[in-house]
Amino acid sequence: MQIFIDSADAKELAALAGSGLVDGVTTNPSLVAKAGGDFFETLKAICAAVPGPVSAEVVAQDAEGMIAEGRKLRQTAENIVVKLPLTPEGLKACKALTAEGCPTNVTLCFSAMQALLAAKAGATYISPFLGRLDDIGADGMELIREIRAIYDNYGFDTQILAASIRSGAHVRDAALAGADCATLPPAVFKSLYKHALTDSGLEAFLKDWKATGQSIL
């Protein structure tokens, strides 16, 4: 499963990319506003730091405006993916941009039928929001399983990008459900390394090695 980071903090993204484990980035208007600074300069810095796909979201509400914004976003860097809302106008824009060879990420997906429409519109990625579904008592992971089954039934190429991830358990379950990618807040990404037994085991190994008085180098 590919791992994306959900952030617009260029410095933090550059540091996380140094792990060699980050495959891409997703941003949204809220994250960009939180990061501050010039929007396009921030995008350029992110795209330079992470060679994989970087999703940048349009803010227009009509298809014509979305298409125009998408074209401009694509001029920022070769690895920009245009992020579009799952609305009738957003899917029109997705169809048009896809026809131009522009990669797209259709976001704010909350049902399998929405995901089916996005795939028919040619979306490169579909972003089902797991955490937000869980917040209202629905089963976000079941949505991943439903989309996986539908896409496999019909051979759709659209990749399932699990979003609104809240925990390492979400990452595990999304991988088990067949998501192609997951986009994680930086804190969740860092938590994937952690296990108490890893820490205690390493401490014991190092203590025993020190007692030998030897050196590898």
37 pLDDT band, cuts 50/70/90, is confident
Tell me the angle at which helices 88-99 and 63-74 cross, rounded to the nearest 10 degrees: 40
Does 36 score more than 90 pLDDT?
no
pLDDT of 25 reads 98
Supply angle C-alpha 39, 98, 103, rounded to 5. Answer: 45
Residue spans of the domains in the chain: they are: 2-192
User: Of 1-5, 27-31, 119-123, which range is least confident?
Assistant: 27-31
pLDDT of 136 reads 94
The pTM assigned to this predicted structure is 0.94
Q: What is the mean pLDDT of the chain?
A: 96
Average the pLDDT over 60-66 and give the result: 98
Whether 83 is a known active-site residue: answer: yes
Average the pLDDT over 188-198 and give the result: 97
Beta-sheet strands, E only, within 53-101: 54-57, 80-85
Name which CATH class applies to 2-192: alpha beta
Sign of the Cα torsion 162, 148, 126, 77 reads: positive
- Rounded to an integer, what distance in angstroms lies between the CA atom of residue 103 and that of residue 106? 10
Work out the widest C-alpha separation in the chain, in whole angstroms. Answer: 71
Spot the catalytic one: 11, 44, 72, 83: 83
Neighbour count for residue 187 (Cβ, 10 Å): 8
- Rounded to an integer, what distance in angstroms lies between the CA atom of residue 189 and that of residue 168? 8
Average the pLDDT over 174-201 and give the result: 97
Element (H, E) at 125: strand 125-128
pLDDT of 124 reads 98
Does 146 score more than 90 pLDDT?
yes
